[in-house]
Amino acid sequence: MNPFEIDVLGRVTDDVEAVHTIRDDLERDLDRPVSDREVGAALVRLAAAGYLATLAYDETQQHLRPVDPGHFASEDLWFEITPEGRIEYARCVP
């Protein structure tokens, strides 16, 4: 993982997050412009590595449900850390 991905993963350790819920915080904390595309790409890479589960809001049942990220734009997905993601994050952050 690169430093940006580690920072993104850290944002998902306490709650389910989406691109729009963490982008502004990343931009502020990194003191540089951060695009939705950059955050979305990092979240999708972390999910592909098994560190995040991908979820989408099911309007009929009014809750988040697990989905295959290939069928959604990253901006429409929510992400939840997996047990593997917690282990990896703890390994990367002293």
Residues 42-69: pLDDT tens digits? 999 999 999 999 999 888 888 999 998 7
- Distance between first and last Cα of the chain: 15
At 21, which helix (H) or strand (E)?
helix 19-30
Pairing of strands 52-58, 63-66: antiparallel
CATH number for domain 3-92, candidates 1.10.760.10, 1.10.3720.10, 1.10.510.10, 1.10.10.10: 1.10.10.10
Max CA separation in the chain (angstroms) = 42
| pLDDT tens per residue across span 70-87 | 878 888 899 999 999 999
What pTM was estimated for this model as a whole? 0.91
